[in-house]
Amino acid sequence: GQQLNQSPQSMFIQEGEDVSMNCTSSSIFNTWLWYKQDPGEGPVLLIALYKAGELTSNGRLTAQFGITRKDSFLNISASIPSDVGIYFCAGQGVKTSYDKVIFGPGTSLSVIP
């Protein structure tokens, strides 16, 4: 079945540093979504990408839909302590019967003040 891989698995960075994480798949996707999840809470949507090559920003966050449609990256600039959490990529594939969205295993981000 379709699977998403995320890297790195975890990151420890200094406050103020920029962060980059990515998501890859062996299958092509129609939509890429990036979510952030705080402990004990549901995932919160950060950015949605709908076209290959699309580059979208949301404040300090920037995400891109890869040209091959098999990958996406998320960048966070000038990290702050509240950026701590788990970041999930999610994709909706072209061959799914319905509009099932599948998730990667997540990248855990820790920000050291």
Partner 1 sequence: DTGVSQDPRHKITKRGQNVTFRCDPISEHNRLYWYRQTLGQGPEFLTYFQNEAQLEKSRLLSDRFSAERPKGSFSTLEIQRTEQGDSAMYLCASSFISGNTIYFGEGSWLTVV
Which parts of this chain interact with partner 1 (CB under 8 A)? 4, 30-31, 33, 35, 40-45, 48, 50, 88, 90, 92, 97-106
Q: Which is nearer to partner 1, 10 or 68 (CB)?
A: 10
Minimum CB–partner distance for residue 18 and partner 1 (Å): 24
Q: Which is nearer to partner 1, 31 or 79 (CB)?
A: 31
Backbone φ, ψ for residue 91 (5° rounding): -140, 150
Per residue in 75-98, is it b (16+ CB within 10 Å) or e — as a string? ebeebeeebebbbbbbbbbeebee
Minimum CB–partner distance for residue 16 and partner 1 (Å): 28
Q: How many CB atoms lie within 10 A of CB 16?
A: 11
